[in-house]
Amino acid sequence: EAGVAQSPRYKIIEKRQSVAFWCNPISGHATLYWYQQILGQGPKLLIQFQNNGVVDDSQLPKDRFSAERLKGVDSTLKIQPAKLEDSAVYLCASSLVDPYNEQFFGPGTRLTVL
Amino acid sequence: KQEVTQIPAALSVPEGENLVLNCSFTDSAIYNLQWFRQDPGKGLTSLLLIQSSQREQTSGRLNASLDKSSGRSTLYIAASQPGDSATYLCAVRDNYGQNFVFGPGTRLSVLP
């Protein structure tokens, strides 16, 4: 079974630029999550999708972050414009229907904002 | 608001030792608790998932226990090996927003 795929693996941009991350979940997983992990901390949930609907985006900085999950499969997370404090690893995870199922994580995208 | 802490923040042990990692959470109304391992520069690998109705789960040399009433979980690693060196994170899914809250992790080093 293929795991969660993410791209790119690394991205370096300057502040005020835009960036987008892509995630392809495990086939058949209805739930998809985006997390932000700052160095030395545990991941923080940014947004959770159930199929292509948003379940929880309470911690997503909506003035600069946006996410979509078209057709209930792949998802993209965008930051526009980026700030220095957005430097982090962005992790995508998926699971079967919540809340009882375990989450499986992708390798993450390491973003550096200069 | 659910808060998750992990003690110790870092741990260094000689190979072969049995060890315990601790996870505490403030709100006992949880659906489940999951333990993960994270290698440097990598994503998270799921180790064990404990549902709120369960007391423990075992996988190989790993055993995780859950005490909801006291807001605690422990991860027991038997006969540690250098390959166990990684950061171990616990995460709790609560009953309200079904949010998944992570602890900061314990960085484990097993010395040969």
Residues forming a β-bridge with B63: B58, B76
Phi then psi dihedrals of residue A35, to 5 deg: -125, 155
Check residue A72 and give its pLDDT: 81
Check residue A40 and give its pLDDT: 86
> Residues 6 or more apart from A50 whose CB is under 8 A from it?
A30, A31, A97, A98
Q: Count CB atoms within 10 A of the CB of residue A64.
A: 14
What would the mean pLDDT of B78-103 be, rounded to a whole number? 89
Check residue B94 and give its pLDDT: 79
From A56, A91, A100, residue closest to B44, measured CB to CB? A91
- Written as six digits, the tokens of A2 are 């293929």
In this predicted model, what pLDDT tens digit does every residue of A27-55 receive, in sequence order?
A: 999 999 999 999 889 999 999 998 889 98
pLDDT band at A100 (very low <50, low <70, confident <90, very high): low
What would the mean pLDDT of B66-88 be, rounded to a whole number? 96
* pLDDT at residue B98 tops 70: no
H and E: helices and strands count for chain A: 0, 11
pLDDT band at A2 (very low <50, low <70, confident <90, very high): confident
Inter-chain contact A45–B99, Cβ cutoff 8 Å? yes
Check residue B42 and give its pLDDT: 83
Inter-chain contact B98–A98, Cβ cutoff 8 Å? yes
What would the mean pLDDT of B28-52 be, rounded to a whole number? 91
- Contact residues on chain A for B46, CB-CB shorter than 8 A: 102-105
CB pairs under 8 A between A and B: 58
pLDDT band at B96 (very low <50, low <70, confident <90, very high): low
* pLDDT at residue A113 tops 70: yes
- Contact residues on chain B for A107, CB-CB shorter than 8 A: 42-43
* pLDDT at residue A98 tops 70: no
- Contact of B77 with B10, CB cutoff 8 Å: no
Phi then psi dihedrals of residue B70, to 5 deg: -100, 0
* pLDDT at residue B97 tops 60: no
In this predicted model, what pLDDT tens digit does every residue of A50-74 receive, in sequence order?
A: 888 998 898 999 999 999 998 889 9
